[in-house]
A and B are shown apart, each in its own frame.
Chain A
C-alpha cells in the first residue's frame, strides 16, 4: 500500500516536470519569436520535445524508441543553444562537443533499435553498456550548459550588470549541473523491470530519485527563464538603473570632442 502511495507521488512529480517543461518551452518559443532570437526558439523546441517523448511513451504507449528520438533531438538542440549563446567566434571546442553529442545520441538510438528489433542480441552486458554510454551523453549536454553559464557568470559577476541577469546565469549553471546526473539512478534499475514498478522496491527508489532530480531541474530552469518582473525588481532593489540622455548626433559628437580635448589638456 505504501509502495503504491510512493509510486503515485513520484508519478505526480513526473507530471509536474512534464507540465513545467512544456510551459517553459512554449514561453521560450513565444519570446524567441517575438525578439527574433533563434537560439531561444531552439531551446524552446528542445523543452517541448522532451515532454512529447515522455508522454508518447508512457501515456500513448508509442515505445521507448519514440521517446529516445525526441530525447536525442532535444539534447542536440540544447547543445546548439549553448553553442549559439556562448561560443560564437570561439573556435573548435563547441563543434567537438556537438559532434560528440550527435554520436552518443546516435549510439543510444542504435541500442534502442537493437533492443526492439534484434531481441536475441539484447543481452545484460549490452544493457549496461547502453546505460554506461548514456551517462557521458547526458553529462556532456548539461554540463556543457552548466560550465558555459558558470564561466560567463564569473566574467559578469564583477561588472555593473543588473543583478537578476547574474542570478539567471547562476541558476542555469546550478540546475543544469543537477540535471547532468539524472541518469545515474538508471544504473540501479533492475533490467527487465518496468520503471517505478511498485512491487519492486529497487525500481521504485530509482524512479523516485529520477523524479526528484528532474522536477528540481524543471522548476529551477523555469524560474530562471520565466522570472517574473516582481522578482527581477526585488533582486535589483539595490541596483541603480542607468537612464541615458538621448543625444542628437551633432550634440553627441561635440560632447565627445569636448571631453577628449579636456582630457588631453589635463
Chain B
C-alpha cells in the first residue's frame, strides 16, 4: 500500500532506520491494532489513525525513542494530508 510506503519513508527518516524496517514496524502495529486477518488494502483512514496513536506509539516507546510524541503527531499530519491515497490505490 502506497500510504504505508509513504508513512514508512517518513518514519524511517525520523528514527534513522531503513525504509523497509520502518514499513515493517507500521505493519506490525496494524496487526496489533486490527488483527492479522484484515487485508492491508482494506485498512481505513480511521484504523490507520488509531494504529498510529496507539500501537505504533507503544512500539516507539518500547524502542526507547524519546521524541515519540512528536513523531506520532507528525505521522498523523502526514496521514491526514495523504489520506486520498487510500481510496486512489484501493480501486
Chain A residues touching B, majority SS: helix
A152 to B6, CA, bound (A): 14
Partner of A160 from the list B9, B28, B44, B91 (CB cut-off 8 Å) is B9
Are the C-beta atoms of B83 and A37 separated by less than 8 Å?
Answer: no
Q: How many residues of A contact B (CB 8 A)?
A: 40
Partner of B89 from the list A152, A159, A165, A225 (CB cut-off 8 Å) is A165
A41 CB, min distance to chain B CBs, angstroms: 11
B45 on the A face (CB < 8 A) = yes
Given A90-B80, A242-B5, A40-B21 contact (CB < 8 Å)? no
A164 to B20, CA, bound (A): 22
A28 to B63, CA, bound (A): 42
| 30 residue pairs bridging A and B, Cβ less than 8 Å apart | A32-B91, A36-B44, A37-B42, A37-B87, A40-B90, A40-B91, A85-B84, A85-B87, A86-B83, A86-B84, A88-B45, A88-B80, A89-B49, A89-B83, A149-B84, A152-B88, A155-B82, A159-B6, A161-B2, A165-B85, A165-B88, A169-B88, A244-B24, A247-B24, A252-B25, A256-B17, A259-B16, A259-B18, A260-B17, A263-B17
Are the C-beta atoms of B80 and A256 separated by less than 8 Å?
Answer: no
A148 to B23, CA, bound (A): 27
Contact string against B for A residues 87-114, beta-carbon threshold 8 Å, 1 for contact and 0 otherwise: 0111000000000000000000000000
A56 to B76, CA, bound (A): 46
Q: Which residues of B contact A67 (CB under 8 A)?
A: none
B16 CB, min distance to chain A CBs, angstroms: 4
Interface residues of A in 28-69 (CB under 8 A from B): 28, 31-32, 35-37, 39-40
Q: Which residues of B contact A152 (CB under 8 A)?
A: 82, 84, 88
Contact string against A for B residues 66-88, beta-carbon threshold 8 Å, 1 for contact and 0 otherwise: 00000000001000111111011
Q: Which residues of B contact A89 (CB under 8 A)?
A: 45, 49, 76, 80, 83
A259 to B82, CA, bound (A): 27
B15 on the A face (CB < 8 A) = yes
Are the C-beta atoms of B85 and A39 separated by less than 8 Å?
Answer: no
Contact string against A for B residues 25-52, beta-carbon threshold 8 Å, 1 for contact and 0 otherwise: 1001000000000000110111001000
Are the C-beta atoms of B41 and A35 separated by less than 8 Å?
Answer: yes
Q: Which residues of A contact B20 (CB under 8 A)?
A: 242, 244-245
Q: Which residue of A lies closest to B27 (CB)?
A: A244
A65 to B16, CA, bound (A): 61
Are the C-beta atoms of A28 and B91 separated by less than 8 Å?
Answer: yes
Q: Which residues of B contact A31 (CB under 8 A)?
A: 90-91
Are the C-beta atoms of B87 and A39 separated by less than 8 Å?
Answer: yes
A168 on the B face (CB < 8 A) = yes
A219 on the B face (CB < 8 A) = no
Contact string against B for A residues 223-248, beta-carbon threshold 8 Å, 1 for contact and 0 otherwise: 00100000000000000001011010
B9 CB, min distance to chain A CBs, angstroms: 7
A260 to B62, CA, bound (A): 13
Contact string against B for A residues 145-170, beta-carbon threshold 8 Å, 1 for contact and 0 otherwise: 00011001001100111100100110
Q: Besides A35-B91, A37-B42, A256-B63, 7 other CB < 8 A contacts?
A: A31-B91, A36-B44, A40-B91, A162-B2, A225-B91, A244-B24, A259-B18
